[in-house]
Amino acid sequence: MELLVTGAAGFIGFHLCKELLKQGKNVIGYDNLNSYYDINLKISRINELKRISNNQFHDFTFIKGSLESSEQLEEVFQKYNLQVVINMAAQAGVRYSIKNPSAYIQSNIVGFHNVLELSKRYGIKHFIYASSSSVYGGNENLPFRELDKVDHPISIYAATKRSNELIAHTYSHLYDLPVTGLRFFTVYGPWGRPDMALFKFTSSILQGKPIDVFNHGDMMRDFTYIDDVVKSIVKLINKPATSYSKFDRKNPNPSSSWCPFRVFNIGNSKPTSIMSYISEIEDCLKLKAQINFLPMQMGDVKETFADTSLLKEWIYYKPETTIKEGVRNFVNWYIEFYKNK
């Protein structure tokens, strides 16, 4: 069996491919290597996957291509015996979506539809895709639950991710395609994205530069360590979405359906203040941050907090890595990775 992971050069996609290879899976990685952030970091991730593949004699194939090109994608579906498709590819970033919304429409909606359509056409057994905690938008009822209505997004990025969930449900209903959506909550860890807080803060503190902290530091995030995210995905691969026999159409449950459709929060369920997060980074670096306090940014939210009871009920697993451990692992990786750069 071969698995397709789109966004293989991305943060989560890379770690997922790495774990699948270690488990002896044959992985097809697909990514367009766009320039949203440092391409060299993406290439280093792909090289690391090739190294693991060569050392452990497992098969990793990397294909450079765009989700927006249905022709390129179809060549992959035609060539390989794919059973599972895990769509981690997307144009990331809440703030960039406000500046460049068209990039999100093309990648996150047009591209998403292309890979979903091909999954239907080629009889994929399980389609898993990345959604986001951003879909909760202006909700203030904490913790965020999959049962909550998510009809009020506050960024283009969030709107595209919510669109993914709706389109996936429609395909599941029309074509009996098992689809599982994953609402990630602020994923962090080694090999992370340079546009994320942990990466930016660590880099700036080491260089003696000030860091920007929004809403004057009054923010909470449900930081979720990358290894916990990957463990969740791997367990979900082996348990495809199923129809919910007790689904009540008069009182619909947004997390499930009469068709094989599921949505799960992937979070640590322990919100941490941004100032405590910064303190952990300072402790690891043995340096103090210079902080530039700023107002809340457009499209941002004050607090996130995941209820993961449905995930635990489904796969008997719950993310649990502590902030202290996760930040330390990232800082150690960062210093090692950039020491000669």
Is position 338 annotated as part of the catalytic site?
A: no
Question: Exposed, middle or buried: residue 208 (CB in 10 Å: 0-12, 13-18, 19+)?
Answer: exposed
With CA atoms as reference, report the closest residue to 153 among 169, 167, 137: 137
With CA atoms as reference, report the closest residue to 172 among 127, 203, 122: 127
Q: How far apart are CA 29 and CA 216, in angstroms?
A: 40
Q: Which residues contact 84 (CB under 8 A, 6 or more apart)?
A: 1, 3, 4, 124, 125, 126, 127, 128, 237
In a 3-state reduction of DSSP, which class is residue 282?
A: helix
Q: How far apart are CA 50 and CA 72, in angstroms?
A: 22
With CA atoms as reference, report the closest residue to 302 among 215, 202, 190, 197: 215
Catalytic-role residue among 157, 171, 225, 277: 157
Q: How far apart are CA 181 and CA 286, in angstroms?
A: 39
Q: Which residues are catalytic?
A: 157
